[in-house]
Structures are given as C-alpha cells and as structure tokens.
C-alpha cells in the first residue's frame, strides 16, 4: 500500500466544500455574533431564530410527538432546543452542548467613583483574560439593571455603544514615554485587576457645593435614562465587551475576526444545524447552550446546574422513561473551541496533534492538563463512532488537542456531561488568539462544524 493509503494526513479542505455555501454561512454567523455579545443577548437571538424555525417554548407536562420542535430558556442566560425523534427516549438522545458566555470585563457591584475630575467604573474581569489586551480598545456597556423602588422591581436593558451614534467606553493605558517601569514588569504584572477601571465621564454636575460633582453628573444621567440610583448597581448584571463587530480577515477573506468566537462559533452551528434539520430525526436531538463555562461551569446557568437534568427529566417522565436510562444511551458532542496551531508561536504546540486552520471540524479526544487531569477523555469506541458518522457524510474533520504536554492546558464542559453517564466527545472549531477581545477562526472550519452537527443529529 502507498503512504497516501496508509498515512493520516491533516490538510486544508478547500476542495471539500462549495465556496459559496461557506461564504453564505459565514455571513449569517457574523450577523449572529454582532447581536450576541453577552450570553443574554445570545439567548434572545437564539429564541428569535428558533421561533422562526418553528420551535415553541416548552412547558412541563406539554404533550409531545415525533417531529415536535421545542426550546426552554434558563433564567435568560441559557437555552435548550430539542427536536423530538421517532425512537423512545429510553434509547437516548443525540446531544450537542456549547457555551454562550465569553471572557469580558464585568462592572463591579458598587462601581462608580470620581478621581481627579474624571468618573470611572470599577470592574472585575470575567474568565481567563490577558489583562494587557483590554486597555485602549473601545468598549460597549451591556446588560440589565433591576431598579427597585417602593417595593416594585423594574428590569431595564442597558446597551450603550452598539449603535454607531453611541458613545463608547475605554480603559486607559500608560503612554510609552512614561512606561519604562511598566515595560520592565512581567506581562502578568504589567496590568493589575484593580487597574482595569472604565472611563465614563468628566463633566461636573451643576449646582454648587455638591460632593463628587462628576460622579453626580454620571449618576444623574443614569437616573434620567434608566431611572436607577447608585444602590441599583447591586441588582445589575453589567458587562463591558469590545465595541467592534465581526469582519472578514485576510486579503482572500478566508477568516472571520470577532469578539466571542469562543464559544459562539460552536453554539451557532450546533443550534442552526438543529433548526435546519428536515423532517423527523430517528433519535431525539437536543442542543444545550449554557453560561458560566469561562469561570468553571458552576451556578444555576452553568453546565453543572441541574437545570438540564430537570428539562430532560420532564421529557422522560412524559414518556414514562427513566432519566438515567436515557442518559446511559445518549451520546454527546461537547462543542467547544480548541487552539489552532499558530506558526508565530510554534513552541507551545505539537504540530502533529494540534488543530490547524481550514482542516475542518476538530475532534478532541481529551483536553485537560498535567497528565490528562480534568478531562473525561472519549473512549476509542466513541471516537470510532463519531468519525464514522462524519466520514459517511463527507464532513472534513481533523484531530486536535490543547498544546504541548505540560505547556498548560484547559477543560471544557465535556466532563460534566460524561459525569452524568453520557458518552461524550469534545469537538470544535480551531481558534487563533483565543480569549483575546478579537479572535480569529476560519470560515471553512465553521462551515464544517455545521455540517458535522447536521450529520450527528441525523445519525
Ligand atoms: Mn470555550
Ligand atoms: Mn474559553
């Protein structure tokens, strides 16, 4: 036999997809990304698209039949979509799981202060960021404030900076002329978490002898616009996210640059593949999109929450099936991004095994670090089953991992699904500059993820 017959060769898959289909799919994704800068925004966008695709909001006890399309929102920050299949839930479901949260700069519980005639917000960063990447870029403010007054609660949506006419916010950086001391520091120490303060204003309030007049003016502005007082920051989820939209990258437009590819570039194909599923699938197909992955998947909206079990338990009970039996026979593609081999930083990767741009949907047998700690690792049998599904439908896929042995590493939500006795394998889109405010993926890999999820649902 020849080397071509015997060797596994990871190579760009441009010849395996219709360029127009790849381009069109990327346009839809970019529009989604621009409207989904927080998990709350992403959920709203998903609901709108799901309803357009015939999905209805599910309530406990609702009668279901094969072909029905349902969704359930978890506290505005997560969403589960399902298409009911022909087979009993006792035979398991085809599950995809991804996350909608992304690293960012959260506004502190009591954020507003004045210093030297300027007003700032104190922040607490969310997720694994390199702090030096966040100063000196335009930021948007997004989220909700629950204004409490006379026993009444009023929820107000906050979105400042998305409209081109809106002002933006920023974290200032030090000028190089005075930064010689800063520049000598280790990169982890050049910027302190307590130094990531957001500039929000400078005009003092009118009226004499007011204390902190600039802070007062900002507070008056917020009060006028949202009806809030300083104490209402306590009941708010406010975040600063990059104030730029997704765009094509490269003279040949093969890449997409944007904020929050991790993990919306897996959430979007996992969800749209389900929405575009035609007819009634053999197995029930479920797409689970969660929050809080970037900080450990804890909490009511994270992957470790019992919310998913409750939803699946409701479906199972209606059929008289045990949830444990359903899980035991289910299979899950845990969809999260992996690192793309970057020739500018070759030392941290292992060429043979790391994901490569344009080589397709990446199957990751295990993540973790230090001797495979913190991973569920997909078994040989499961890897075989999944690659066979992809091959059958001509999906370009590749193997991937997270860097060299002992270089670092990381985890995904896979283990939390596997711990529930669900056969789970990691799969995702390779990313350049992961966790930066502006990440890069290949359009072809995104499209192949969509094709991979479609094949998996139909299998
Ligand atoms: Mn991720
Ligand atoms: Mn991440």
Distance from the alpha carbon of residue 413 to the mean position of ligand 1, in angstroms: 8
Prior bond of 371 cis (ω within 30°): no
In this prediction the pTM is 0.97
Q: Are the beta carbons of 335 and 95 closer than 8 angstroms?
A: no
Query: What are the percentages of helix, strand and coil residues in the chain, rounded to 5?
Result: 30, 25, 40
Distance from the alpha carbon of residue 204 to the mean position of ligand 2, in angstroms: 40
Residue 21 sits at φ, ψ, to 5 deg, of -65, -40
**Which of the ligands is closest to the CA of residue 435?**
2
Residue written as token pair 């019992």: 306
Name the helix (H) or strand (E) containing 384: helix 380-392
Distance from the alpha carbon of residue 386 to the mean position of ligand 2, in angstroms: 24
- d(Cα 82, Cα 54) in Å, to the nearest integer? 11
Distance from the alpha carbon of residue 320 to the mean position of ligand 2, in angstroms: 38
- d(Cα 296, Cα 287) in Å, to the nearest integer? 20
Distance from the alpha carbon of residue 370 to the mean position of ligand 1, in angstroms: 19
Distance from the alpha carbon of residue 3 to the mean position of ligand 2, in angstroms: 37
Pairing of strands 430-431, 338-339: parallel
**Which of the ligands is closest to the CA of residue 364?**
1
pLDDT by residue for the chain (459 residues), tens digit each?
999 899 998 999 999 999 999 999 999 999 999 999 999 999 999 999 999 999 999 999 999 999 999 999 999 999 999 999 999 999 999 999 999 999 999 999 999 999 999 999 999 999 999 999 999 999 999 999 999 999 999 999 999 999 999 999 999 999 999 999 999 999 999 999 999 999 999 999 988 788 899 999 999 999 999 999 999 999 999 999 999 999 999 999 999 999 999 999 999 999 999 999 999 999 999 999 999 999 999 999 999 999 999 999 999 999 999 999 999 999 999 999 999 999 999 999 888 889 999 999 999 998 888 888 888 899 999 999 999 999 999 999 999 988 888 888 777 899 999 999 999 999 999 999 999 999 999 999 999 999 999 999 999
Q: Are the beta carbons of 336 and 98 closer than 8 angstroms?
A: yes
Paired strand residues for 73:
79
**Which of the ligands is closest to the CA of residue 337?**
1
Name the helix (H) or strand (E) containing 418: helix 414-418
Distance from the alpha carbon of residue 231 to the mean position of ligand 2, in angstroms: 32
- C-alpha triplet 67, 73, 78: angle, nearest 5°: 115
Residue 34 sits at φ, ψ, to 5 deg, of -65, -30
């Amino acid at each position: 036999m020849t080397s071509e017959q015997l060797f596994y060769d990871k190579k760009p898959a441009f010849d395996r997809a219709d360029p127009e289909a790849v381009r069109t799919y990327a346009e839809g994704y970019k529009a989604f990304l621009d409207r989904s800068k927080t998990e709350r925004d992403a959920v709203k966008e998903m609901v709108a698209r799901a309803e357009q695709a015939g999905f209805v909001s599910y309530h406990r006890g609702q009668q279901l039949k094969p072909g029905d399309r349902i969704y359930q929102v978890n506290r505005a920050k997560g969403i589960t979509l399902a298409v009911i299949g022909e087979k009993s839930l006792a035979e398991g479901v085809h599950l995809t799981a991804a996350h909608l949260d992304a690293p960012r700069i959260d506004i502190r519980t009591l954020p507003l202060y004045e210093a030297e005639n300027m007003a700032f917000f104190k922040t607490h960063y969310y997720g694994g960021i390199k702090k030096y990447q966040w100063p000196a870029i335009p930021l948007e403010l997004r989220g909700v404030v629950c204004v409490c007054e006379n026993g009444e609660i009023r929820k107000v949506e906050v979105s400042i900076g998305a409209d081109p006419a809106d002002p933006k916010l920023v974290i200032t950086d030090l000028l190089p002329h005075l930064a010689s001391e800063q520049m000598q520091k280790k990169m982890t120490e050049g910027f302190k978490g307590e130094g990531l303060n957001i500039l929000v204003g400078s005009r003092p309030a009118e009226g004499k002898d007011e204390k902190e007049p600039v802070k007062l003016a900002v507070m008056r502005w917020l009060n006028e616009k949202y009806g809030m007082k300083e104490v209402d920051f306590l009941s708010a989820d406010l975040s600063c996210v990059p104030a730029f939209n997704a765009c094509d990258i490269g003279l040949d437009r093969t890449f997409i640059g944007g904020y929050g590819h991790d993990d919306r570039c897996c959430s979007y194909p996992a969800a749209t593949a389900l929405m575009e599923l035609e007819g009634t699938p053999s197995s029930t197909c479920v797409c689970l999109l969660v929050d809080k992955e970037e900080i450990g998947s804890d909490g009511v909206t994270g992957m470790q929450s019992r919310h998913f079990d409750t939803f699946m338990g409701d479906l199972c009970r209606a059929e008289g099936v045990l949830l444990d039996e359903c899980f035991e026979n289910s299979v899950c593609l845990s969809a999260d991004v992996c690192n793309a081999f970057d020739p500018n930083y070759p030392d941290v990767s292992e060429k043979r095994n790391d994901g490569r741009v344009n080589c397709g949907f990446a199957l990751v047998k295990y993540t973790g670090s230090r001797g495979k700690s913190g991973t569920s690792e997909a078994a040989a049998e499961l890897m075989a089953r999944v690659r066979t599904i992809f091959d059958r439908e001509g999906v370009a896929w590749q193997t991937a991992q997270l860097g060299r042995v002992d270089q670092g590493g990381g985890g995904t939500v896979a283990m939390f699904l596997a711990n529930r006795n669900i056969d789970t394998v990691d799969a995702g889109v390779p990313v350049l500059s992961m966790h930066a405010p502006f990440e890069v993926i290949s359009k072809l890999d995104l499209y192949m993820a969509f094709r991979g999820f479609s094949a998996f649902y139909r299998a």
